[in-house]
Chain A
Amino acid sequence: MADILEIQGISKRYGAVQALDQVSLNVPQGSIYGLLGPNGSGKTTTLGIVLDVINASAGTFRWFGQPLSKSTKRRIGALLETPNFYPYLTGEENLRLTAEVKGVAPARVGEALQTVGLGNRRGDKFKGYSLGMKQRLAIGAALLGDPEVLVLDEPTNGLDPEGIAEVRRLILHIASQGKTIVLASHLLDEVEKVCTHMAVLRNGKLKAQGPVSSILATNDLVFLNGGAPLETLLQTALALPFVAEARLTDQQIQVTLQNGVDSSELNRAFFAQGIALGQLVVRKKSLESQFLEIIKADHA
């Protein structure tokens, strides 16, 4: 499938701070692409650059295989950081203005307000909206003109649990219509629940990218003990060709297997060496520990 967005080696420097360092990534058409990273990792900077509001220090990017222009902007709906509207205008007036800036028929405004559940508050001033309503209005504005791509930066920020669930439902609903969604978030669980693809950023560097399943679901951990002294278990494990990593933790040996290797294979290998393991526990890595592992990779 074609890539909606290709980013080639973009960097951004703010004085002495390297906010982004040679980031390259591709967003496939129809994906829900999660941009994951802790606060200050460069997510918003990346999105700001591809949305034309931040000048990159180096690198290029292309939307739909073309450089960004007025016509490509029309095919993108975006919400960057905070909802940005005129506080003294009503929700409806604000969206009408957005529609005109985007060159979209004003008739679509009512529809967008309904989609984000603000139909009955359309006549209220934006400054009177709750945080959740402001966020929903911003999503409504991004939806105007039926864009092919939605770029959402922390769309559930500041929402209560109900609002978060609602926004996620909305995102999945939009994605089910075949649209591509780029979603920046510092919440792992959000990315796991919603996204098909992801990229992990830390300190402006790209740590990993690809389908969520290939990044998160591999490399289960196996914990071993018994049958031999821990030191022997460790040496034996390290000697096995299909063991990616093994170390002593907490009175047991933690083993990371290579992709596609089953834990029973490990058991068999130990038995072949004359060690009957007392205990073998397979633990799916928690998302959080995987995330921490990915972002810590540069310290190793």
Chain B
Amino acid sequence: MTSLLRIELRKLLPYSTFWVLLLLQAALLFVFFYARGNVMVNGQMAGAELYQFPKLWMHLTYVSSYLNLIPGILIIILVSDEYTFRTLRQQVIDGYSRADVVQSKASVILLLALLLAGYVFLLGMGFGLYHSKEGAASMFTEAQYIFYYLVQVMGYMALAMLVAFWVRKTGLAIMVFLAYTLVLERLIQWQTPDTIDKYFPMKALSALTPNPHSELEQLMLGITDFLTPGQALVPAVLYIGLFGFLSYQLLRSRDL
């Protein structure tokens, strides 16, 4: 897997599209955190209240989850590029198996997820230390949310990978991905009882980073049944595995 990743890095590092999207994601995360902290609530900066350890981790990962589509789109571009350039075909001719192809993209997904989670963690430390009033004894007590975020962003990218392997065309794959994540699943959820739809991919993934004000939300929207982040971890990991497995099956069953 490390040699697969090394080969992927040879493709990625000189690729400007990769850097543009990665820097965009990093910049937007920063802007989101900064803006949310600077909203004035009752004549006071929200950050002063929101960005206190340890609840800051829950806040930041919830905010970060709004930006998961960008890493997804990046993965779609990276996968569909291999079809556009026909390099996928060439690499299978040159020695890759179908499993190698999926594993090499999975290694990129893991790397990106680690980078993003690490970045959010660093931003959290920065904002937290800047705003913290008292000593930082409880700094890491809720840092597990960083791990939940890591799994969540991997889930988005794994779904994006599957869509890209399935559709193969960049533009169309991005549209299918956005349509499913933003519209389609919600429409299905609407028709499905809460007890079942909480296990749907997007809902299970979003349950990993709950809204810190969820009590209010639940009261207003009348949501009765939801997964806690710890409970959502199991379906989320299963979905990631499933998306990878389906990608492999797609590659196996079709001509390249």
Contact = CB atoms under 8 A, between A and B. Distances in A.
Contacts of A84: 85-87, 89-90
Interface in B6-32: 6-7, 10-11, 14-16
Contacts of A89: 11, 14
- With most chain B CB atoms within 10 A of its CB, the pick from A53, A73, A93, A101 is A101
Nearest to A90: B14
Contact of A88 (B15, B95, B97, B255): B15
Contact of A98 (B6, B16, B94): B94
A57 B16 CA distance: 41
Given A53-B256, A54-B255, A55-B255, A101 B89 contact: no
Contact of A86 (B3, B87, B92, B97): B87
A101 B82 CA distance: 14
A36 interface: no
A97 B7 contact: yes
A82 interface: yes
A73 B97 CA distance: 10
A102 interface: yes
Contacts of A55: 253-255
A74 B95 CA distance: 6
A212 interface: no
A70 B97 contact: yes
Nearest to A71: B95
A87 B89 contact: no
A88 B93 contact: no
Nearest to B255: A54
A81 B87 CA distance: 12
A81 B7 CA distance: 24
Contacts of A74: 95
Interface in B211-255: 253-255
B86 A101 contact: no
Interface residues of A, number: 28
B96 interface: yes
A80 B255 CA distance: 14
A54 B256 contact: yes
A79 to B, nearest CB: 9
Interface string A166-181: 0000000000000000
A53 B14 contact: no
B91 interface: yes
**What range describes how many residues of B lie at the interface?**
20 to 34
A223 interface: no
Contacts of A78: 93-94
A51 B255 CA distance: 11
B10 to A, nearest CB: 5
B6 to A, nearest CB: 7
Interface string A138-156: 0001000000000000000
A102 B97 CA distance: 12
A101 B168 CA distance: 22
B10 A52 contact: no
B255 A101 contact: no
Nearest to A74: B95
A85 interface: yes
Interface string A85-119: 11111000100111011110000000000000000
A102 to B, nearest CB: 5
A48 B86 CA distance: 13
B224 to A, nearest CB: 48
A101 B96 contact: yes
Contacts of B7: 97, 100-101
Contacts of B16: 88
Contact of A73 (B3, B10, B95, B253): B95
Contact of B92 (A53, A82, A97): A53
Nearest to A48: B255
Nearest to A96: B10
Nearest to A100: B7
B82 to A, nearest CB: 9
B95 A103 contact: yes
A70 B95 CA distance: 5
Contact of B93 (A80, A93, A96, A103): A80
Contact of B3 (A81, A97, A100): A100
Contacts of A52: 92-93
Contacts of A73: 93-95
11 contacts: A48-B255, A53-B93, A55-B254, A73-B93, A84-B90, A85-B85, A87-B85, A96-B10, A97-B10, A98-B90, A100-B6
Considering the complex of A and B, which 3 residue pairs feature the smallest CB-CB distances, nearest first?
A84-B90, A84-B86, A53-B256
Interface of B: 3, 6-7, 10-11, 14-16, 81, 85-87, 89-97, 253-256
Given A86-B81, A98-B94, A100-B6, 16 more contacts: A48-B255, A51-B93, A52-B93, A53-B93, A53-B255, A54-B256, A55-B254, A86-B11, A86-B15, A88-B14, A88-B15, A96-B10, A101-B91, A101-B96, A103-B95, A141-B90
